Amino acid sequence: MTVVAFQGEHGAYSEEAIYQHFGREVETLPCRTFGDIFRAVEEGRATHGMVPVENAVAGSINQAYDLLLEHDLTVTSEFYLAVRHCLLAPQGTTMEDVQRVRSHPQALAQCEGYLAARGWEPDPWYDTAGSAKDLAANPEPGLAVIASCLAAQRYGLDVLARDIQDRSWNTTRFFVIGQEAAPPAPKSKTSLVFAVPHRPGALYACLGEFARRNINLTKLESRPRRNRPWHYVFYLDFEGHWQDAVCRDALTGLLAEAAFVKLLGSYPAAEMPGTDKEKAA
């Protein structure tokens, strides 16, 4: 049976991503931290983990990338979730009753304009779904929360408003992690991390291995090495599967130029919400 671990309470956006990607029949395993997701998969308590790695508004989630470097799990697929924030409240609450709105600080920031226009006081909480769970258990007059519609269904709250995020294109990219690598797909993407030696032109030489072979890079970002102050690693995504001949040659060249290379995984490239293909459907 497929069991997918995620960070947060039931009703979290990560759980919504799981259901959209795997289907409703999958079993989900809530975890307290991102690190617990990786441990659940390594220990066999989950077959996969759903890990958010970057948001179109807030950028990369650094803790997730650090864990990908530290653990020997494989990225088996990616998924893009269009984040649709909803305003939730106990049954019988009206918009006129609302005075405070509770949620995770990032969700509050993503709905800042909506709240300010109505004069509502933001109330930071540890988790979006957690705010819904806590409000359902302990209703407070004048208090609403920002969470998913899935959380409303889970905890029996009313949806007072939908799509209250300030930016309609608010999207989160997830990695699905597991023990087994994904086979080549018609359209694949590869993620890896590498470091370069301290010499002039080292990064240029590494990236040149891809440029010379006309391989398109879709992400390049540096992060400090946690065990070596003032040293950096580079997270890189490129189009193609590592088993493709041209990609394999590029990786061989990268190994010769870099101080170290770790392949995080090759996986089917996902369609982002709002693409022409999605609109046509």
Please pick, among 47, 172, 194, 234, the residue that the annotation labels catalytic: 172
**249-258 core/surface letters (b: 16 or more CB in 10 A; e: else):** ebbebbeebb
pLDDT tens profile 128-145: 999 999 999 999 999 999
- pLDDT for position 274: 65
Residue 58, pLDDT score:
80
213: left (phi over 0), alpha (psi -120 to 50) or beta: alpha
- CA-CA distance, 60 to 38, in Å (whole number)? 18
pLDDT at 225: 82
130: Cα separation from own chain's centroid: 18
Catalytic residue among 6, 38, 174, 234: 174
Side-chain-facing half-sphere of 126: CA atoms under 13 Å: 9
Nearest to 20 by CA among 32, 8, 30, 12: 12
Stretches where the chain sits below pLDDT 50 are 276-281
pLDDT at residue 279 in the model: 40
- Answer yes or no: 76 catalytic: no
User: Which pLDDT belongs to residue 278?
Assistant: 40
Note whether 19 and 42 are within 8 A (CB). Answer: no
Cα gap 108→147, rounded to integer Å: 10
* Cα–Cα distance for residue pair 71/6, rounded to 1 Å: 16
| Strand 121-124 versus strand 232-239 pairing type | unpaired
Q: Which domains does the chain have, with CATH numbers?
A: 3-83+170-178 (3.40.190.10), 86-161 (3.40.190.10), 188-268 (3.30.70.260)
pTM for this model (two decimals) = 0.90
To the query of whether residue 174 is one of the catalytic residues in this protein, the response is yes
pLDDT at 276: 44
Tokens of 151: 């959380």
Largest Cα span, the chain:
66
